[in-house]
Structure 1
Amino acid sequence: MVRVITQETYDEVVKENIDEFEMTPEEAIKEAVAQFEAQGVDLSNIIKDLALSSGDSHEVTTIVSKLKELATQKQSDDEAILKELEALIAECNKDIARRVRAGKEGVYNILIDLLERRSKSYIEKANEKDEKIIITAFNALIALMEMQPDLLEEKGADLIKSLLDNIDKESIITPVLRWTSVCCVKHEMNRQRLFAKNIAENLKTYLKVRASIKVISESMQVIRKFTLDDDVRVEFGKAHDHAKELGVKLLEPLTQFLKDHPLPPEVSETMLTIAALLVRHELCAMVADAGAAEALFGILADNFDNVAVIVQASKLITALAGNDDVKRKLVKAGIAPIIVTLLNRHSSNAIAAALLLKAISALALREPEHSRQFFDCGAPDAMVEAMKIHPTNASVQKNGCWAIRNMVARCREQNPKFHELGVEAVLNAAYERFSQEFGFDVKSALRDLECDVKLDEQWTGKGVQMDNN
C-alpha cells in the first residue's frame, strides 16, 4: 500500500531540519524528501519547495486568501483580481501538488462565485472588463482542475450550460469548452452530469452555424471526451450511450464539416471525432449516406504524404468497416489499392503501419472477395514488410496477425505467397516476444497459414462418468 502524508507533516519536518539541525532551506528540503521517499511515502501531492522567505504560508495559500478578500469587497478592483488570477494560473501550472493545495484552500468556490457574478453582468451588458475576468477565471479553473476533476459540482455544471446558452463570443466560449473537456477526463460522474445538461445541442449549433474554427475544434474535443471510458473508479460507464446519442445528433453536421474542410489541420480532428462516434451499424450507414466515403477518397488523394492525416483516415476507415454494407461500398469504390500503397509508403512509421494493418483486417473480415482484392494489390508484401520493420512494436505485430488471419482464413490459396515472404519466421518471433499479450492471435494466424503450431486446449473435462439414469 502507498503511504501518504499531509502537507503540514512535510512542512514540520522541513522546519525541524532547519531549526534543530541548522540546515539551509535547500538542505532541509532535500533531506526531508529523501527521508520520506526512503519510507515509501508518495510525495506527488506535496509542495516540496516551500516559500520559506514569505513566512509560514505557501504562495498558493497567500494567493487564495487575496482572491477571497478581493471577492468580498464591495468595490471591485479588477486589476488586482486579474493579477491574483494570473498568479494562481502560474502556480497551478507548476505541478499537481499546488493544484491540490489550491483546491483544499477553497479556490474553486471562489472562482465559481466570481464567474457567476461576472457572467451575469456580461450577459446583461457586455463589457471588456467582465470579459477579461471571465476568460482569465476560466483559464484558472482549467489550470486548477487539470488531473483533479473531482472539484466540479452541480453549480459548475449549471454555469457551463448557462454560458453556452447565453453567450456566443468566441473568446469566452473557447475556455468554457476547454474547461468542460478538463472536467470530463477520467471522471465518469462529471461526464454524466454535464451530458445530462444537454450540452450536445450547443455543440450541434456550433457545427451547424459554422462557428469559428477554434470553437468547433474545442467542441470536437468535448464530443470525444464524452465517449471516454477511462475512470477506473466506475465499473460501468455510459461511453457507448453517449457516443450513440451524440452520433444521432452530430454525425451529419460533422460529415458536412469534413467535406467543407478537407485539409489539415481541421481534417484530422474531424475524422478522429467521427470515428469516435461510430459505435453502431446505423451510424456508419448515416455517415456513408452523408458522403463521408467520397470525402475520404479526396482527403487521401490530397494528403498522401501527411502521416497525421493518414493515421486518422485509417481510424475512420476501420470504424466505417463496422457496417458490412459500408465496408463493401468502400472496397468496391477502390479503397484496397489505396491502403496498400499507403502502407508501402508509410511502413517506417509504426503508428501509421499499425492502423493501416488494422484497416486491412477490418475490411477483409469475413469477405473473401475483399481479401482477393488486397492480395491482387500486393498486400502480402506490404503487410509482412511492415511487421519485419517493427518487430518490437506490439500494435504492428498484433494488427498484422489479425490482417493475415482475415486475409487467408477463407482464401487458403494465398498461403504460399505469405510463406515465400517468410511470414512464419516473423510470426514465430512475434510469439516469442508477445506470447503473454496476444499469443493466441499469433497462433491463430499460424494455424490459418497451415503452419505447424501447437494450440492449447482452453478447457478440458475431468473424465467424470455421466449418469444417464
Structure 2
Amino acid sequence: MVRVITQETYDEVVKENIEEFEMSPEEAIKEAVAQFEAQGVDLSNIIKDLTLGSGDNHLIVETVAKLKGLCGEEKYDEKAVLQELEVLKSECQKDIAHRVRAGKEGAYKILLDLLYSKYSKLCQELSERDTKFIISVLNTMTALMDVQPDLLENKGVDLIKNILDNVENEDILIATLRWTTTCCIKHEMNRQKLFAKNIAENLKLLLKVTGNAKLLSETLQVIRKMTLDDDVRVEFGRAHDHAKELGWQMLEPLTNLLKENTQPPLVSELMLTIASLLVRSELCKMVADCGVDCLFTVLADNYDNVAVVQQANKLITALAGNDDVKRDLVKSGIVPIAVSILSRHSSNPVATALTLKSIAALSLREPTHGQQFIDSGAPEAIIECMKVHPHNAMVQKNACWAIRNMVARCRDQNVKFHELGVESILNSAYEKFAEDFGFDIKSALRDLECDVKLDEQWTGKGVQLDY
C-alpha cells in the first residue's frame, strides 16, 4: 500500500537534517528523499526543492498570498497581478507537487474570481490590455489544473460555457478551449457536466470558423477528450454516448474539413478526431456517404510522412467497422496502398503495428479481400515486419490477426506463408508473448494448419448426472 505524507512533514525532516545533523541543504534533501522512499512513501505531490523556501515561505505559497492580497482590493493593480500570475504559472509548470500546493492555498478560487471580475467585459469589444489580462488568467488556470482537474466545480463549468456562448475573441476562445481540455483529462464527471451544458453545440459552431488553424486544433482536442474513458475512479463512463452524440452532429463537417485540409498538421488531427467518433456502424456509413475519397489523396500526398500515415491507418481501421464501407474501400483500391505503406514504413514499429491492424480489419470475414492482400504481396511484407520487430508486442499481435484473417477462409493460400517461414516466426513469438496474447498466436498457427497444441478452456469432472 502506498503511503503519503504532508508537505509540512517533509519540510520538518529536511529542516531537522540541516539543523541537527549539520547537513547542507542539498544533502538534507537527498537524505530525506531516500528516507521516505525506503519507507514506501509516495513523494510525487511533495515539493522537494527547498532552495526557494520551505513551509509557509515556499515561493508558490507567497505568490498565492500576494495574489490574494492584490485581488482583495476593490481596484487592483493589473500590472502587479500579471507579474504574480506569470510567477504562479511558471511554478505550476514545474511539476504536480507545485500545482497541488497552489491548489491547497486557494489559487483556483482567486483565478476564477479574476475571470468573473472581467466577465462583463467579455461580451463587449475588449481592449488589448483586457484581452492580455484574461488570456494570462486562463493560461495560469490551465497550468494550475494540469493533472488535477478535480478543482473544477459548477461555477467554473458555467464560466466555460458562458465564454463559449458569448465571446468572439478567438485568442480568448483558444485559451478557454485549452483550459477545457485540461479539465476533461482523467475526469469523467467534468466531461459529463460540460456535455450536459450542451458544449457540443459550441464545438460544432467553432468548426465553422475559418482561417484560424489554432482555434480548429484546440476545438478538435476538446472533441477527442470528450470521448475518453480514462477515469479509473468511475466504474461506468459515458464515453460511448458522448462519441455517438458528437458523431451525429460533427462527422459531416469534420469530413468536409478533411477534404479541405489534406496537409499536416491539421490533416492528422482531423483523421484522429473522426476515428475517435466512429463508435457505431451507421456513423461509419455517414462518413462514407460524405465521401472518403480524400483519404486516398491524403495518403498519396503524405506517403512518406509517418505521423500522417499512423492517423490514416486509425481512420481506415475505424471505417472498416462497417462491412459495406470496408468493401467500398477495397473496391476503391486501398489494398495495394496498405501493402505499400507497410513496406515503406516497416522500420517504424508504431506505423507498422497500426498498418497491420488496418489490414486485419479490412480482411476480417472477407475471403476476397484476403485474396487481394495475398496477391498484392502482403505475406512478404508482414513476415518482413515480424522479423524487423521480433520484440515488439503490438507488431507481433497485429501481424497474427492480419495473417489469421487473410487465411481463415482462404486455406489454399497457406502454402505462401509456409514458404516464407511463418511457422518458426510465430513459434518464436509464442515463446516471448505466450502470457500476453498466446491465444492469438495459436489461432494464427491453427488457421495456417500448423502443428499446434490447443488448451481446453473447460473440462468436465466426470461426475455422474442423476436424471
Matches of 2:455 and 2:31, distance apart in 1: 54
Indicate the percent of aligned positions where both proteins have the same amino acid.
69
Q: Per the alignment, in what secondary structure is the counterpart of residue 453 of structure 1?
A: coil
Q: Cα deviations across residues 365-400 of structure 1 (Å, max 9, x unaligned)?
A: 000111111111111111111111110001100000
**Residue aligning to 1:111:** 111
Deviation at 1:18, TM superposition (A): 2.3
Aligned partners of 2:52 and 2:59 also within 8 Å? no
Which amino acid in 2 is paired with 1:263?
Answer: Q
Change (3 A) 1:452 1:54: closer
Which amino acid in 2 is paired with 1:177?
Answer: L
Deviation at 1:27, TM superposition (A): 2.5
Matches of 1:465 and 1:27, distance apart in 2: 73
Change (3 A) 1:267 1:56: closer
Aligned partners of 1:119 and 1:130 also within 8 Å? no
Matches within 5 A, 1:323-402: 323-402=322-401
**Residue aligning to 2:26:** 26
Which amino acid in 1 is paired with 2:110?
Answer: I
Matches of 1:164 and 1:211, distance apart in 2: 18
Q: TM-score, normalised by structure 1?
A: 0.98
Matches of 1:190 and 1:141, distance apart in 2: 15
Aligned partners of 2:122 and 2:166 also within 8 Å? no
Deviation at 1:33, TM superposition (A): 1.6
**Residue aligning to 2:222:** 222
Change (3 A) 1:55 1:192: closer
Matches of 1:123 and 1:65, distance apart in 2: 30
Which amino acid in 2 is paired with 1:319?
Answer: A
Aligned partners of 1:118 and 1:133 also within 8 Å? no
Q: Cα deviations across residues 113-143 of structure 1 (Å, max 9, x unaligned)?
A: 1111113223245222221111011111111
Matches of 1:210 and 1:457, distance apart in 2: 59
Deviation at 1:56, TM superposition (A): 4.6
**Residue aligning to 2:181:** 181
Matches of 2:243 and 2:449, distance apart in 1: 40
Aligned partners of 2:8 and 2:55 also within 8 Å? no
**Residue aligning to 1:319:** 318
After superposing the two structures, state which structure 1 stretch, 158-167 or 38-47, moved more. 38-47
**Residue aligning to 1:280:** 280
Deviation at 1:192, TM superposition (A): 0.7
Matches within 5 A, 1:229-244: 229-244=229-244
Q: Cα deviations across residues 280-319 of structure 1 (Å, max 9, x unaligned)?
A: 0110000000012x01011111111111111111110000
**Residue aligning to 1:79:** 79
**Residue aligning to 1:310:** 309
Q: Per the alignment, in what secondary structure is the counterpart of residue 15 of structure 1?
A: helix
Matches of 1:55 and 1:398, distance apart in 2: 51
Which amino acid in 1 is paired with 2:217?
Answer: S
Aligned partners of 1:3 and 1:42 also within 8 Å? yes
Number of residue pairs the alignment of both structures matches: 467
Matches of 1:56 and 1:339, distance apart in 2: 60
**Residue aligning to 1:65:** 65
**Residue aligning to 2:438:** 439
Matches of 2:157 and 2:413, distance apart in 1: 57
**Residue aligning to 2:427:** 428
Which amino acid in 1 is paired with 2:96?
Answer: I
Aligned partners of 1:92 and 1:98 also within 8 Å? yes
**Residue aligning to 1:418:** 417
Give the CA RMSD over aligned residues: 1.2
Aligned partners of 2:7 and 2:55 also within 8 Å? no
**Residue aligning to 2:466:** 467
**Residue aligning to 1:38:** 38
4+ residue runs over 3 A deviation: 51-56
Which amino acid in 1 is paired with 2:84?
Answer: E
Matches within 5 A, 1:121-270: 121-210=121-210, 212-270=212-270
Matches of 2:52 and 2:351, distance apart in 1: 51
Which amino acid in 2 is paired with 1:71?
Answer: C
Matches of 1:411 and 1:43, distance apart in 2: 57
Deviation at 1:87, TM superposition (A): 0.1
Aligned partners of 1:92 and 1:143 also within 8 Å? yes
Q: Cα deviations across residues 187-230 of structure 1 (Å, max 9, x unaligned)?
A: 11111111111111111111123361111100101111011111
Q: Per the alignment, in what secondary structure is the counterpart of residue 41 of structure 1?
A: coil
* Structure 2: stretches of 5+ with no match in the other structure: none
Matches of 1:426 and 1:48, distance apart in 2: 49
* Structure 1: stretches of 5+ with no match in the other structure: none
Aligned partners of 2:53 and 2:59 also within 8 Å? no
Aligned partners of 1:371 and 1:408 also within 8 Å? yes
Aligned partners of 1:51 and 1:59 also within 8 Å? no
Matches of 2:20 and 2:388, distance apart in 1: 61
Deviation at 1:55, TM superposition (A): 8.4
**Residue aligning to 2:95:** 95
Matches of 2:456 and 2:234, distance apart in 1: 34
Q: Cα deviations across residues 60-83 of structure 1 (Å, max 9, x unaligned)?
A: 110000111111111220110100
